[in-house]
Each structure stands twice: as C-alpha cells, then as structure tokens.
Structure 1
C-alpha cells in the first residue's frame, strides 16, 4: 500500500527504527487502522513483530504534535500499573522524520471496538454484554487509583483550581462559537440554569488523579473472548484533574434507563446492558473516592460534552463541517442539557 494512502512515509519510519534496533529490512503488511479518531494510525510488521504507528491528523493542527507527545508520556507512565492500555514501544519526538509530525509505536491490541460492531459471542450473550459495562467501570476505577505523582506525572496538568475552572472555561468555549459565520448562537435551553447550579453545588474537596478526558464505550477495546476491557485508547484529552469527572462522563454517555443515548454505537443498540446504577455501584466497590457528589460530576459531564459537540454545528454553519452532522450533534447537546436539568431537579 502506498505511503500517500497511509499518510506515513514508511521508508523513513523503517530507517528511524533501524537506528533504534527495532527490526531490520522493509516494513510489511501495512494497513490503516480505522476508528473514531482523526489521528492517523497504521498497523504493520517488521522482522516478525507487529506494530501500530500513531501520529496526528493528516492536516496537523497547532497542538497536534504536543498532544501526541502527551499521549506517550501517559502510556509510559501507565506501563507499571494494572490499567489496561496500549503498550508503548518507542517515541519519535523529531517531526523531521516524517516531515511534520511526531509519532509513536505501540503494540497492537488484541481486541475490538464496540462502537464498530460486536463479535458473535458478545452479540449473542446478554450476560457478556452486561459484564462489558462492569468491566468499563473496573478499568476506570483502576485508572482513578493510580498515584499520578508516583508514576512521574506530577507536572502533567494543573489540578489546583481544576473544578473551579470548569464552568467559566466551557461557557467561554460556547461564546467563542460566535466567531463562525451563520451560527445563530446557542439555542440550548438550560445553559444558564445548569451553569449556576454547578457553581453553587461544586464539591469543596476532591483528590487529583489521572483523567482520561473522554471515557465512553467507543474509547475502549474489549477482549474477543469475553467481556473484559483490554485497553483504554485515545488518550489525547488526558490530564491531571478530578477522575470522578471521567465517571460522570461514563454515566452521561451510557445508555439511560429510558433507552436514550447521546451517541449511537453498536453496543448501545443491544439489550442486556448494565444500568448506570450498576456502573456506579461497581466503581464504588473498587475505589476509596467520595462518590457523594456523583450527580454533580454527571451534570458537569453533560454540560461540558454538550458544549463541545455544539461546536460542530457552529462550524457547519460556516461551511467547515457537514450540516447534517452538526444538526445531529446539536440535538444531542439539547438532550444532554435536558438530562442535566432533570438530574438537578431530581430528589437526591
């Protein structure tokens, strides 16, 4: 397969690998790895060993290389933990090797993405699907238990004031969408109400830790032979913050008791899934964190995610994204804020 199709100069990669003792001779069996990410990924083999290369998108953004290098720091830090993750092999922090992009190599993960489809075992067994959700809660609890200082990530984020920054940060993001020509402004009922509630009910104390930043069912890979999560993937939003926001994110994006989902993916379309209460109870059984404010974190997840995906509508109005996708995500934003308001109004 030619390098242009793969968006990677594999001859340059092979030369770089040879300098580091990572095999000899040509790169074989190169194929693109597809999925939800916009980053470029290529699977190949060399000297009998399989690799996956990951770099930023074909058209790099201003922070693409920084994000990729941050991912490598996290993966390296997780190597000595029980958190399921892709195993880092080597990092190239020199953009000149590929002409513009840094990259890294990792071991392929023997698993599948439930956002793209379920194997017969998982599609045909409700108990396996039920346990898949619990395994997601287990993997997240394992991540939340890692001491970020002990694994070398003390300077990876700015945890001080993290919760206080959230509402102003995302309100500013929402206001920034006015820059897009044709965007009529945020037609999202409940924004002010949810923002005010979050500010007045913010937890007074919390414990910093590693946050994935986008923890949902399409950002993990499951075992082909059972329900276990074998790797948490797509670490580009990772930081040091409050890991309970990851739990709120999981609860906000999981299929709800009324059958609704923010994102449509293969797993969510099947029966027999664990409930959000099941996920919460499973996480609680494996953590020492105080979960008494979990409603707050779930509301914050709805608030933040809703604002993030509203940006696609704004870009679509200016002709920078597909209008159909923008309209779909705007509907999801409205749904997320409706859910947030319902959580606020529910007795606790």
Structure 2
C-alpha cells in the first residue's frame, strides 16, 4: 500500500467477509480509509490467479461506464507477495447483501423489495449494453463460438472432477438429457458482450438508503460471451418455488419480489438484445451452474473445501438440474 502511494496509518480493523464459497475477502481500515482486499481461495485452483487478474482489468475498464461495479484502488498481479496468490484492493461499498439481512426500512416495505428485484434486472442489462471493444476489453475471453462450445465445455469440466481423490462421481440426474436439449435448441444468432458470469441476488449490494443497486460484486467469472446468459442465471437462481433459490435468503423470506416474467420485461426495456430464446439461456444457466457447484462438492470430498458446503452445493446442483428438466 505504501508503494502504491495510498494514505498511511495504522491498521485498526481487519475482518473477513463471509458468505462466499470461493475467493477470500477482507475488509480493512488503514488510517481514515476503508478498503476490501480480494484474493483467490486458500486452496488455489489452476486458473485462480488468471481469473483474478482478468477481474482487476475488467473492473478498471468499467469505471467510466454506468455499470455498478466496485472501484479498483490498487492491484498486485505478482503472486509472490502473498505466497502464490495475486490480489487487489477495492473501495468499500456502503451497502448490504439482501440475502443475508434487510435494514428495517427495506424489511417493512414490499414496494422497496419489489423495486430491488427490478433493479437487479436493470443493473445487469446495463452491463450487457457496454461496448467491450470501446472500453479496451476486446481481447478478453473468446466470444467466437461461445454458445457452440458451452455444453461440451461444461461436460468436460464435470468429467475433470474425477481427478479429486474421494469423489464418487457426479450424481446429477438429467445431465445428459439437458445437454442434448441445449445442443438441439441453441440460438442461431447472438451478439457478444460483457457478462458477469455468476449473477444472482447474493452477488448484489444494495443501498441502505433505498432500493438502488449499490454494486455488483464477485466478478471472478467475468468474460466476453453472451450477456443474455447473465439474465438466464438471474432467472435460474430467482427465489420462486421451483428450486431456483441457491441459499437461504432474507429478501426471499420477506416476499414482495417481482416475478420472473417481470424481470424479463424490465430487462427488455433496458436492452437492445432479442429475448425470444430466454428459456434456453435459463436452462443453460441451470446446467452450467449445477456443474460449477458440483465442483465444490468434488473438492470437499478431497478435503479441499468444507464438507458441509460441499453437501449443500451438491443439493443445489440437483435442484438446478431438476429445474432445467422441468423447463425443457
């Protein structure tokens, strides 16, 4: 921090921010400034550092856009400083995670909670409208053939979990059925753009003053691909009564959220993209996220993640595949 010219002072607060299952985040105060430090998991995966370096670059590029993203303060792409992990500092966002708790004003007003849900759709639509080439991210990701390779890419990821000692293999009913449907019904045309890659309510910080989105967080899966997959992800994880909810949620328990149909209509008002195939994107989100969550279960079986989290995410993976099968 000294080398970056940041304000000096004593460290008076260092607190781990919990709730995620992958990267490590610490809130810290130095002098009069509060920061958040973000680094990859303690058990580094093959692409952990590369993903975080990409994340730093994308957040810096989004600074002048309307996208609600935390501001980068300083980044360290040298993995030797923290013994193998890259890291960065970002601004502390004065907001709250609505899946964890609600301020009294938000808890008491269903209209605020309804607007919070619509705000989630508007916020991700804004990301999909960013010209990634114009902001200097034209070489991020590999959008050519993005949709064509999704099924094979994630089936390959699922197969790779066999390398974890103690993992008995995937018990995800319907994977082959969903994969086949996705291949047969893939949209023939689409337009590349920036996508968050893991967009759901737990990755949104809301303003304490009202229903506004304060920041979208956890950008480790950001890439240039098809932004409609972000909307599909939000729909797949939306807290309705079909297994969409990923975790216990304060805002879901409070009620008042818009329906999935309202989310789609709101997104449509703020995008130039064609939503005719949105069900396909929702199915793909269920398929992909289910496989991603199963990866934590496989790592838990090998002792590289907490067993309780692995069991919980395996159950959610099954729920997502069940949702996908009902949609197709």
Deviates more, 1:178-187 or 1:87-96: 178-187
- 1:328 alignment partner, SS class: helix
- 2:122 alignment partner, SS class: helix
For residue 49 of structure 1, what is the aligned residue in structure 2?
A: 33
For residue 198 of structure 2, what is the aligned residue in structure 1?
A: 214
Q: Write the mapping of 1:277-292 to structure 2, written as runs, cut at 5 A.
A: 277-292=261-276
Alignment partner of 1:145 is 2:129: yes
CA contact (8 A) 1:129 1:227 kept: yes
CA contact (8 A) 2:125 2:267 kept: yes
CA contact (8 A) 1:257 1:275 kept: no
Deviates more, 1:207-216 or 1:305-314: 305-314
TM-score by length of 1: 0.87
Change (3 A) 1:54 1:333: closer
Q: Which has the larger radius of gyration?
A: 1
Q: Write the mapping of 1:36-185 to structure 2, written as runs, cut at 5 A.
A: 36-185=20-169
In structure 1, how many angstroms separate the alpha carbons of the residues matched to 2:126 and 2:145?
24
Change (3 A) 1:273 1:32: same
- 2:13 alignment partner, SS class: strand
In structure 1, how many angstroms separate the alpha carbons of the residues matched to 2:53 and 2:166?
36
Deviates more, 1:60-69 or 1:210-219: 60-69
- Give deviations 1:318-347, integer Å, cap 9, x for gaps: 454455443433332222222112211xxx
For residue 227 of structure 2, what is the aligned residue in structure 1?
A: 243
Deviation of 1:310 after TM superposition, in Å, equals: 2.1
What value does the CA root-mean-square deviation take over the aligned residues?
2.1
In structure 2, how many angstroms separate the alpha carbons of the residues matched to 1:218 and 1:260?
13
- 1:163 alignment partner, SS class: coil
In structure 1, how many angstroms separate the alpha carbons of the residues matched to 2:242 and 2:179?
25
In structure 2, how many angstroms separate the alpha carbons of the residues matched to 1:315 and 1:189?
20
- 1:112 alignment partner, SS class: strand
- Give deviations 1:90-117, integer Å, cap 9, x for gaps: 2222334444333222211010111221
